[in-house]
Amino acid sequence: MSQTEKQIAGNQRRTLRTMRTKLLAMASDWDGLDQFNMSQLTELADKVDEVSQQMVADDMQGER
């Protein structure tokens, strides 16, 4: 049995939220040690969040 697009998006949104949390924890490890690494990881976490939110928007459009 294959998953619907809505199920795939839901699963991936949850995974992306977990990734974002892990990336922010990694960025925190660099606080006070290396601003570049901290910044890069924070930006990556922001991008992950952006992608996750876009999946929500795409998912909602499909329900209309």
Question: What pTM, to 2 d.p., does this model score?
Answer: 0.81
Q: How many domains does the chain have?
A: 1
Q: Per-residue pLDDT tens for 17-63?
A: 999 999 999 999 999 999 999 999 999 999 999 999 998 665 555 55
Q: How confident is the model at residue 34, as a pLDDT?
A: 98
Q: What are 64's two structure tokens? A: 């209309």
Picking from 62, 57, 63, 54, the residue whose alpha carbon sits closest to that of residue 16 is 54
Residue range of the domain that includes 24: 5-63
